Chain A
Amino acid sequence: MLRGTVINIVLAGLLLIVFFFGCNVGQYRMSIGKVFETLFGGGDESSRLALFEYRLPRLCLAILVGLGMGMSGVVMQDLLHNDLASPGTLGVSAGSGLLVTVYVALLQTNNSSAILLPVLALLGGLGSAGLIFLLGTSRKKRLQPTRLIMTGVAMSSAYGAVGTFMMLLLDDSQLEFLQRWQAGELWGVRWDYIVVFAIWILLFGFMTYRGGRTLNVINVGYDIARGLGVNVGRQFIYLSLCAVALSSASVAFGGNFFFLGLIGPHIARRLVGTDARVLLPASGIVAGIIVLLADMLVQGWTFLANIPTGIVISVLSVPYFLYLLMKA
């Protein structure tokens, strides 16, 4: 526990360093001195604009998306006792994505209010999680995490097919918006969005964190948890709701970062161990660092101009995932 806390503090420090590094990456060139000067209230108008209107919100959004996905991944993996569970593999984020696609296709618009998108994504995610539970479990038998995941993978491909069909109805600009969004792009770079998002993440992050002890017990085994007096069914639903809420908001503002919710917890677990109370923040922070780095690549390297951040994350994390799979 103590070790975990220390590592968490170190990780947070690392996040801060990457964050400061991120402040220096972008198409508007500023010296490091100028960035610091601007950060602490000085600087000219242009550098203030670049930093406070474009760079900082982007970086904050990246961290928030990482936090949401990372924590959500931990909850799902602990609840299902399976290292391969995540919002991506369980099809929860694909479900969120589908509902947003349907909304854009039916209303023929790509302007969305700050509240509507996360709510839609949440509904989609909840619906999808419910459907996967309905299809992947049976009353007669015990919960089989593997089956849930396989159902999730298959369901996300079904969502993808339905999404493709909806997209055929769209015109080119909406199509492009949706494609970029589905590939995972940080698009909600506006302070008002970020405030909504941050409150959401803080609220559900806190609620999840409160369930940390329960999560530890459930992770040991359903029966043991029951023996220790935990109302497994109720806690399961409560924690799943939190996880879906966290991932949905991230999907709504940051698009579909498929592997993030899987890689974050994995790396974090290697660092701090399995105690959910230290694992939750650590995983969020690690995922945040990943998104930050990927976004810095896209923003700073014109070679990758116009490529959504999510694609960079996928291409970078698939090899790691495959490595995990080969090792497992």
Chain B
Amino acid sequence: MREKLRRRERKLYNGTKFVICMSVGCGLLLIFMIGFMYFGAEKISFADLWNGLFHFDEGNFNHVVVRDMRLPRLLADIMVGVSLSVAGAVMQGNTKNPMADSGIMGISSGSIFAVVFMMIFLPDASRLERIGYSCLGAGISTMMIYLVAFIGKKGITPERMVLSGMAISTLFSSITSGIVLKEGLTSEMLKYTAGSSANAIWMDVSVSAPFFLAGFALALMISRSLTVMNLGDDVSKGLGANTAIIKLSSTLVVLVLSAIAVIIIGPVGYVGLMVPHIVRHFVGTDYRLVLPSCAVLGALFVVVVDLIARIMIAPLEFPVGILITMIGVPFFIFVSRRQRGDAFGG
């Protein structure tokens, strides 16, 4: 009885924290969104900002900057942030591995391969084709990772996921670097892997938006089941959850969301690792709370980092992917050190 009460108390406590987390996160996000629109390589007045958004004049350069450069980039950053962190959280729940991340797990290796493939064989590919192919690449590598981890007696375990991810990504990156070295594309390749959302346009946003929304909605729909599933397969079976369907749909979520991030910003890792960690620290392990918080904080994180990348060496661009990595690696080491006791189901 007492135990039950305490649990209930904790639930309430997490709920309060969730509300705080969401409201502070949303507030900060709003502030930084305005900051993102206002600051940049070119100076723009608030009046121009306002008019650019609501009374657009094609002849006015400042309006163009606001509507065609900053706004799509801001939206792209938000989508990337939400996608990466939600995909990371779902993946961590799905594989029961708190260190899962689309970059670390090798999902992006498939899309890098696709990009290199296009550089060589389809240099004239249109933007839409590019998006299609890199999605296809990400999709194939994800399928292969899950397939390999799935076939076998034990089924999906965190360890098998990591190893199959590693193997598949080694396969793809070996072939990629083979082509790159044979064709002498090393420096172009490196620029792509650095990652940047600087060239996102409205079309990118509008093409990915429906998939993004669908993926995000699906993630929210399965959030309850994910929580239950994390209690253990037996418990969830006892509670009548259909594990196979949930696993399938969560894989779909991971696939769609990581693919969106990859086509917009390139192969960027660590967001999906960092944000869910911080969020779980605040709101616990209930995915109904974790996923929305991840979305808000993920968007906030990418928007802030990209704002820094834009104004750090203006009028030049700093690759945002590198900035994220520079934050991500130390964070990762810190987390794995703290996690020593309870990671990997230990």
Contact = CB atoms under 8 A, between A and B. Distances in A.
B170 interface: yes
A131 B333 CA distance: 9
Contacts of A162: 325, 329
Given A158-B329, A164-B194, A140 B341 contact: yes
Contact of B187 (A131, A134, A175, A183): A175
A307 B184 CA distance: 11
Contacts of A108: none
Interface in B94-135: 97, 99, 103-104
B325 A315 contact: no
A311 B97 CA distance: 29
Given A134-B337, A162-B329, A314-B174, A84 B190 contact: no
A167 B188 CA distance: 12
Per CB-CB distance, the 6 closest pairs between chain A and chain B, nearest first, are: A314-B174, A138-B340, A318-B171, A161-B325, A311-B178, A135-B336
A154 B277 CA distance: 15
Interface in A132-149: 134-138, 140-141, 144, 146-147, 149
A306 B180 CA distance: 11
Contacts of B319: 168
Interface of A: 84, 89, 131, 134-138, 140-141, 144, 146-147, 149-151, 153-154, 157-158, 161-162, 164-165, 167-168, 172, 175-176, 179-180, 182-183, 258-259, 306-308, 310-311, 314-315, 318, 321-322, 325-328
B332 interface: yes
Contacts of A310: 174
14 contacts: A131-B333, A138-B341, A149-B162, A149-B163, A154-B104, A158-B329, A161-B270, A161-B328, A165-B322, A183-B174, A308-B181, A318-B168, A322-B168, A328-B154
A168 B194 contact: yes
B13 interface: no
Nearest to A327: B152
B182 interface: yes
Contacts of B162: 149-150, 153-154
Given A154-B162, A306-B182, 19 more contacts: A135-B336, A136-B340, A138-B340, A141-B340, A141-B341, A150-B97, A150-B99, A153-B162, A157-B269, A161-B270, A164-B322, A183-B178, A258-B170, A306-B181, A318-B168, A318-B170, A318-B174, A322-B164, A325-B167
Contact of B343 (A84, A147, A183, A259): A147
Describe A's contact surface by its main secondary structure: helix
Interface of B: 97, 99, 103-104, 148-149, 151-152, 154, 158-160, 162-168, 170-171, 174-175, 177-178, 180-182, 184, 186-187, 190-191, 193-194, 269-270, 319, 322, 325-326, 328-329, 332-333, 336-337, 340-341, 343-344, 346
Contact of B269 (A140, A161, A314, A327): A161
B170 A172 contact: no
A151 B171 CA distance: 20
User: Looking at A153, A157, A164, A179, which has the most chain B CB atoms within 10 Å of its CB?
Assistant: A157
Contacts of A318: 167-168, 170-171, 174
B175 A84 contact: no
Contacts of A146: 159, 344
A138 B193 CA distance: 34
Contacts of A311: 174-175, 177-178
A70 to B, nearest CB: 18
A146 B99 CA distance: 13
B170 A314 contact: yes
Contacts of A259: 170
Nearest to B151: A326
Nearest to A179: B186
A41 to B, nearest CB: 39
A328 B181 contact: no
Contacts of A326: 148, 151-152
Nearest to A158: B329
B334 to A, nearest CB: 10
B180 A179 contact: yes
Contacts of B341: 138, 140-141
B174 A315 contact: yes
Contacts of B149: 325
A151 B159 CA distance: 11
A183 B177 contact: yes
A162 B270 CA distance: 13
A295 B170 CA distance: 19
B87 to A, nearest CB: 16
B159 A179 contact: no
Contacts of A165: 322, 325-326
A305 B182 CA distance: 8
